[in-house]
Amino acid sequence: MNNTKTALRTYYLEKRKTISEQEYLQYNLRIAERFFSFIDLSFVKVVHSFLPLTSNKEPDTWLIIDRIRREFPHIRLSIPRINRKTDSLENFFFEGLHQLEENNWGIQQPKQGTPTPPEKIDLVLVPLLIFDEAGHRVGYGKGYYDRFLATCRKDCKKIGLSLFPPITKISDANEKDFPLTACLTPENSYYFEKSE
């Protein structure tokens, strides 16, 4: 198979559609369990999470968001909104469902709120379609998250969530792509050591 981002994006968007509702529910439960057993949240103050487009079978971050709200009151949550004028993500502290509205793509996003300074974010849940053994990811091709992650602190943890295990290598990954700190799948946790 051709392992360029474009080919992988097409393939995994299709592959995700073939997952049954029952499998999708199971995968999401396992990923959420893995998050809470794998990630040490004791020193984390701000978690940034994408809001899932569940109709496209994106990993359901609500399972993680709701449990953080219940069990980790010291953690503030931050959620993104796409700014079409600047072609970038704006991030706001999550206040509750009343804050959300759907954008043109059917993705829920905050209509208002208190902006989250990127340097305050300790951990980002990063959306993706597939990732490789080096921690590179294939997203949706718009570059929003690579531009956003460039504004975060160097020690901010970038945790990918994937319904599929990694492939060996994304052939056209480059230095503009921010490698993940770790990626969680229904079956495994993958940690990518940085050799600095």
DSSP output for 16-75: HHTS-HHHHHHHHHHHHHHHHHHS--TT--EEEEPPP-GGGT---THHHHHHHHHH-TT-
The pLDDT of residue 196 is: 42
For residue 46, give the 3-state DSSP assignment. strand
pTM of this prediction?
Answer: 0.94
Count of all residues that appear for the chain in the document: 196
Q: What is the pLDDT of residues 64-98, one digit of tens each?
A: 999 999 999 999 999 999 888 888 899 999 999 99
pLDDT confidence of residue 1:
66
CATH tag, 5-92+105-191: 3.40.50.10420
| Residue (of 162, 181, 51) closest to 107 by Cα position | 51
Residue 16: other Cβ atoms inside 10 A = 17
How many degrees, rounded to 5, is the angle at CA 86 between CA 60 and CA 132? Answer: 45
- Write down the domain spans for the chain: 5-92+105-191
Regions of the chain where pLDDT drops below 70: 1, 194-196
Cβ–Cβ under 8 Å, residues 138 and 170:
yes
For residues 85 and 108, what is the distance between their CA atoms, to the nearest angstrom?
18
Please report, as a single letter, which amino acid is at residue 81: R
Look at residue 110 in the predicted model and tell me its pLDDT: 95
Q: What is the pLDDT of residue 177?
A: 80
Q: Are strands 157-161 and 182-184 parallel, antiparallel or unpaired?
A: parallel
Counting beta carbons within 10 angstroms of the beta carbon of residue 134, is it exposed (0 to 12), middle (13 to 18) or buried (19 or more)?
middle
Q: Which amino acid is at 34?
A: R
Question: Which residue, among 119, 123, 195, 130, has the nearest Cα to 159 in the 3D structure?
Answer: 123
Burial of 179 (0-12, 13-18, 19+ CB in 10 A): middle
- Among 180, 159, 181, smallest CA distance to 32 is for 159
CA pair distance 154, 90, nearest whole angstrom? 19
CA distance 19 to 93: 32
